[in-house]
Structures are given as C-alpha cells and as structure tokens.
Structure 1
Amino acid sequence: MSLDSRAPRSTRPAGEERRAPGFTDNVGLIAGREITMRVRSKAFLISTGVLMLAVLASVVLGSIFGAQAETTKVAVVAGASAVVDGDESLDAVPAANEAEAEQLLRDGEVEAIVAPAASDPLGIVVIGLDSEPKSVVSALSVRPTVELLDPAAVDPTLAYLVAFGFGIVFFMSALTFGTTIAQSVVEEKQTRVVEILLSTVSARALLTGKVIGNSVLAFGQIIAIAVLAILGLIVTGQRVLLGGLGTSVVWFVVFFAIGFVMLAALFAATAAMVSRAEDIGSVTTPVTMLVMIPYFLVIFFNDNPTVLAIMSYVPFSAPVGMPMRIFLGDAAWWEPFVSLAILLATAALAVWVGERIYRNSLLKTGARVKLAEALQG
C-alpha cells in the first residue's frame, strides 16, 4: 500500500489568486462598522429624534406666531361705518342702534361697539364690555406715515430665529458626532483593541473609516433635518419664508459636510493622545471651542454685517456664517465659492495633520502624549 504524495487538488480556478484587502476595502469595512454601531445605539436614535422634533416644533411655532392675527368683530352703529370700512383688521357687524349693538356685545358676538359721537373729535366712540378693547382702539388710531432710510431686507426676529437654527444644528451635530469619535478612539486604545486592528489595517485606513462613517451619519442627519424643515414650511403654508430660506439651507448642508470632516479628524487625533476616557475632555477642549464659538457668534451678532462677513471666511465658522449671509442677501454670488475653497483647503490640511497625530499617538499608552511629540513621531 503506497501513500499518495500528490498535493491536494485546489478548488480555486487556475490563474486566480486570493487578493488581499486594499486601502479602500479596509476603509469601507471600518466605515460600515461605525455606521452599524451608531445606528444600533439607542442614545443616537433618541438624540436624533429629539433634534428632529425640535426642528419640527420650531417650524410649527413659527407658523403659529407668524400667522396673521384674526380679524376683530365689532358692532358698527349706523353713522360710524365710514370709519371702519377699509380696515382689514376689523370685521364690521352692522347694528341699527346702540341697543342692538349692546346686545351683540353682551352676547359675546362682538368684542366692541363703534358708534357715532358728536362730542368726540373723531366723531366716534368705542365701547367695550368690561375692559378697554385695545385691538380695536389700535386699529382705529391715526398713525403718521413712517419712512425708513435703510429698510431691513429681513425681519430682525426672523433673522434671529434662522441664525439660532443654523447655530444649534451645527453645534449639536458636530459636538455629538465629534464626541462619539473621540470616545470610540479612546475606548479602542484603552482596551487594546486598536493593536489588533492595526495588525490588519493601517492607521490611515482606520482613521479614514471612522471619519467617513461618522460623517455619513452626520450628513444624513442634516439632510433629514433640512427635508423635514422644508416639508414643514410647505405644509404650514410658509412658502414666502421657504423661498428665501431654501438656498441658504442648501449651502448650509454643503458647508457642514466639509466642515464636519475637518472637525472629525481633529476630534479623533486629539483623542488618540490620551489612554483614559476621563482625559478626553482635556484634550478635545480646543476642538470643542471651535464648535461652540461660531454658535455664540451667530446668535449674538446675527445683525452685524462685519462679524458675519469675517465668520463666513474663517473655516471653522463658515458653515454658519456664510449661509446666514446668503439668507440675509448680504453675500455676492461668488463669495460662497471662495469661502468653500478656503474651507476645502483647511479641511485637507486638518486631515493631514490629524492623521499624523493619530498615527504617532495611537500605540502610546500611559501618560498623555505631547502635541510636539505626536507631530514629530
């Protein structure tokens, strides 16, 4: 009996060799892992739901408070109709005499009575039930003609609400996902999972996958918020506001997508410099400030053209500064493109620096890695 010394027959087709996963494959796997983990997280789903409900509530409340006030019903006694006619805020209910008008007032069918009065300079008298009908008095008051030398293109209250909306969405989304990336980096480093990961993928692929995965989630959240806000404006009949807000929302989405990649790389890089979750706050504070400062600036200086112009060209505040200027009509057609080019260049530089810090700090445990050491390698 002889043994067959021939090599096992391979089932792989001739000429076909197993290909090792490339950089793109590794990035796709890591990004998919990040997305899957976040989508399955209850905290992420709850925070997203709360943010979207807040946006929907702001649209609905804006419709309620911005809607035109209902007309006020008044009983008009014969002889006083000429004063009320033509006033769109008053709904005149004819009354033959004051007795009939008084009955309408007591029955709650009208809020006041407008009757002729020979002794009054205006020739009328306004009669209320138990308090002064201020809305009627205000409607009938004689107002002087008012002219503005530099009329505001947008109502100041509306401008503040739009600024608050851009600021809070940028602040909440960037901070939430940025903190998530930082926690993920430190958790993998603290549990030494990163050592296993780096045995199969490069640090660049690991960082790129994390940034892309969380950027996709943040971008998707912003798109969902924008769509929800636009649908809310359409349903509530605020089409005039939608016409002025639509372009600025589109630019906000574009600027946010690029700005978040820049911030995500910095959050991951700074977090790699520490090995304990308790130290995350100390190293990510500078990046957190870059998220908070634009929020406060756009809230407090939304009516200051100079501050907004500066913000629109500073990369870390451009995602809120430039869309706000577009909404106000203060930006020329070419300015968003110049600002976007500056943001793209800064984002590329931030990703390069962040990747270097991340790669040089990821395997160093114990004490906090100094920035100079992380940059030099």
Structure 2
Amino acid sequence: MSTETLTRTDSAANRAGFTTAIGLVIEREIMVRLKSKAFMISTILSIVILGALVGVSGALPSLFSSTDKVAVTSAGAEAVKGIEDIEPVVVDDVDEAKALVSSEKVDAAVVDSEDSPTGVAILSLRSAPESLIGSLSLTPEVELLDPDAPDPALTYFIGLGLGLVFFMAAMTFGNTIASSVVEEKQSRIVEILLASTSARVLMFGKVIACTILAFAQIGLTAVAVLAGAAVSGNDLVLGKVAEPIAWFVPLFIIGFVMVAALYAAAASMVSRTEDLPSTSTPIMMLIFLPYMAVIIFSSNETVMGVLSYIPFSAAVAVPMRVFLGTIAWWEPLVSLLILAATTLLALLVATRIFERSILQSGPKLSWGQALRRR
C-alpha cells in the first residue's frame, strides 16, 4: 500500500474519530440537562406560561365583553346594523320601545326621530350604553395616509419579546456551559475526559449541545405561543410577525453559538465557581448593552440601522426593521454574514483560550493572560 493511500486512510480515521467524539460529548451534555429536574421544570413552566398568556390575551376581550339588548324601530335597526355587542330587539313603534325600556327588558332603544341629525334617537332609563352612543355619534371623515403603518406600541413589544428571548437564552444556557466547565474542573472529571478526547472536541461538543437545547426550548415555546394564538384567534401573532421571526431564527442560532463559545472560554479561565463572574461579566455586558439599546432606540431608524450590523444586537434589530419595513432586501444578508464572520472569529479565540486554560488550576486568569499563554 502506498504512502499516499495510508495518509488518506489515517485522515479519514481521524475525521471519523473527531465526529464520533463530538457526538459523544453532545449526547452526554444533553442527557445531563434532560435528567436535571430543575432544568425540565423551568423549561416546561416557561413554555406553558407563555402559551397561556398569548391564549388568554386573545380570549380576555370576549370574556369581559357584554351584549346589550336594544329595542329598535325600522330606522333604528338600520342604524345599529354592524355594531358589535348589540342585540337588536325589533319593535313596531316608539311606544313599544319605551315600554320595553321602562320594564328594563332592554338596556336602551334606538327609534326614529325627525329632530336628530342622524335620523334616530336613543331612549334609556338611566344611562345608555357607551358603545351605542359612540357608534351612532356623528364623526368627521377620516383619511388614513398609511393604513399599513406599524403600531409603535406593537413595534416596542416585538423588540422587547425577541430581545428577551435572545437575552434569556444566552444568559441561561451560557451560564449552563460555564457552570458545566467549572464543575468538571473542580471535580477533575475534565482530566479524565481529556485523556480520551481533545479540549477542542470537548468545547465544541458543549457549545453544540447547548445550542440544540436552546433552540429546542425556543422552538417549543414558539409552538406553544402559536397554539395559544390559534385557540384565541389572535391573528396578530399568527400573521404579522412571521417574516421577522424567519430572520430571527438563523440570526439567533449563529449569535448563540458565538455567545456559548465565549462562555466556555470564560469558564476555562477559572478554577472555582466563585471566580466565574469576573470572567463572564464582560460577555454579559456585551449581550445586555446592545439589547437595551434596541429597546430604547426602537423608534430611531438611524440607530437601529447601526445596531443591525453589530453582532450582539443583530438578532433583534434586524427582525424589528423587517417588521417596520425600513430595511433593504440585502441588509439582513449582510448582517447575517457579519455575524457569521464574527462567530467564526469568536470560535477561534475561544478555542485557543479553552485549550490553553482548561487544565489551569489555582488563581483565575484574565482574558489577556489566557490569550498570551502557551
């Protein structure tokens, strides 16, 4: 057998071994989390609560709405046609309408009136329903210059919701990776793991496992939210945010990989759980500050344009601009490419730190010290 053939065979074996090792690390990490009662309970509760909130928000108006019985003459019947929460009771004349109102069999009556500008008058025993008065009042002509313009309040809540999803997932699962790494260092399990695999495989396996868990949790939450929207008939959730969410998913996955890798590197630089905040706080601030900027400047198109190209805020800023319709078709693609390049760089830096620091014991290292170590 030639040397070239042997080289190709060894290379294929190494690739297979690398893939198998990562698969084992991923399986181990996922199973550890799935066996954690705290993790499962918190996940199930968050999914159920969010789904229920969406369902209840759509059902509340119908639960608290009431139908008013209103006696109507021929002209009155035409006037109340199409008014919600009104149950018309047809009568022959004004006297019959007055009798029903006086006996409180109806809440009010709408009858013919030649003196009224609208051609009808409202009869009531004590007070007429506000919805009826408002619907029959004369209103000036209204011209909507942009009927499809996004609601500012809705825009704010979309940014808040997507930002909260990314922020909470990054913080929760980032800390999960960091805690796992520190626990394995403290118990010296990491030395056993590194005897059968490499530090790179260990880090990549942890990052991929937590990315899978984070995406699965968010996916299940999305299903619960859509189910709640479908049950309550909330077409806002079902229709208007579909395209922003379609961009949020790839941006979230790539951005989360970046954050997870940095958390793994931060944890490798410490030997005790107590020291973890000192290395993970900079990462938390890189997530928190852009998140707050998106919430605060959601109505500022210039600032939102800049935030679309910042890796730590792109996952929220881009979907918001897509919803608002203030983004060109190519901008999300450019933002995605910038985020992917930044994530690749973060993986290279994190891998270098992880490989050089994972077996470090004693005092914690700073980011600069970890990068300079050989």
- Is 1:32 aligned with 2:30? no
Cα shift readout 1:68-127 (whole Å, capped 9, x = no counterpart): 977654222466455445656644322334553345446665332224556656564434
Query: 1: distance between equivalents of 2:104 and 2:296?
Result: 45
Query: 2: distance between equivalents of 1:329 and 1:243?
Result: 15
- Is 1:55 aligned with 2:50? yes
Query: 1: distance between equivalents of 2:121 and 2:336?
Result: 62
CA drift of 1:344 comes to: 0.4
What is the CA RMSD across the aligned residues, in angstroms?
2.9
Q: How many residues align?
A: 360
Q: Percent identity?
A: 47
CA drift of 1:343 comes to: 0.7
- Is 1:44 aligned with 2:20? no
Cα shift readout 1:243-273 (whole Å, capped 9, x = no counterpart): 3322222221211111110000011111222
Residue 244 and residue 119 in structure 1: after superposition, are their counterparts in 2 closer, same or farther (change >3 A)? Answer: closer
Q: How does 1:186-205 map to 2 (within 5 A)?
A: 186-205=182-201
1:296 equivalent in structure 2? 292
1:327 equivalent in structure 2? 323
Larger deviation, residues 339-348 vs 243-252: 243-252
Normalised TM-score (structure 2): 0.85
Query: 2: distance between equivalents of 1:28 and 1:86?
Result: 62
Residue 294 and residue 224 in structure 1: after superposition, are their counterparts in 2 closer, same or farther (change >3 A)? Answer: farther
2:266 equivalent in structure 1? 270
Letter in 2 for 1:249: I
Cα shift readout 1:169-204 (whole Å, capped 9, x = no counterpart): 212222111111111111111222222222222111
Normalised TM-score (structure 1): 0.84
The partner residue of 1:162 within 151, 158, 163 is 158
Cα shift readout 1:323-349 (whole Å, capped 9, x = no counterpart): 222223222222221111111000000
Contact 1:226/1:249 (<8 A) preserved: no
Contact 1:223/1:253 (<8 A) preserved: no
Residue 70 and residue 201 in structure 1: after superposition, are their counterparts in 2 closer, same or farther (change >3 A)? Answer: same
Residue 282 and residue 146 in structure 1: after superposition, are their counterparts in 2 closer, same or farther (change >3 A)? Answer: farther
- Is 1:182 aligned with 2:139? no
The partner residue of 1:355 within 351, 355, 373 is 351
Contact 2:52/2:228 (<8 A) preserved: no
Query: 2: distance between equivalents of 1:212 and 1:84?
Result: 61
Unmatched 5+ stretches in structure 2: 1-12
CA drift of 1:369 comes to: 0.5
Partner secondary structure for residue 93 of structure 1: strand
Unmatched 5+ stretches in structure 1: 1-17
- Is 1:140 aligned with 2:136? yes
Contact 2:68/2:129 (<8 A) preserved: no
Residue 266 and residue 45 in structure 1: after superposition, are their counterparts in 2 closer, same or farther (change >3 A)? Answer: same
Partner secondary structure for residue 258 of structure 1: helix
Contact 1:177/1:214 (<8 A) preserved: yes
CA drift of 1:238 comes to: 3.7
Pick the structure with more helix per residue.
2
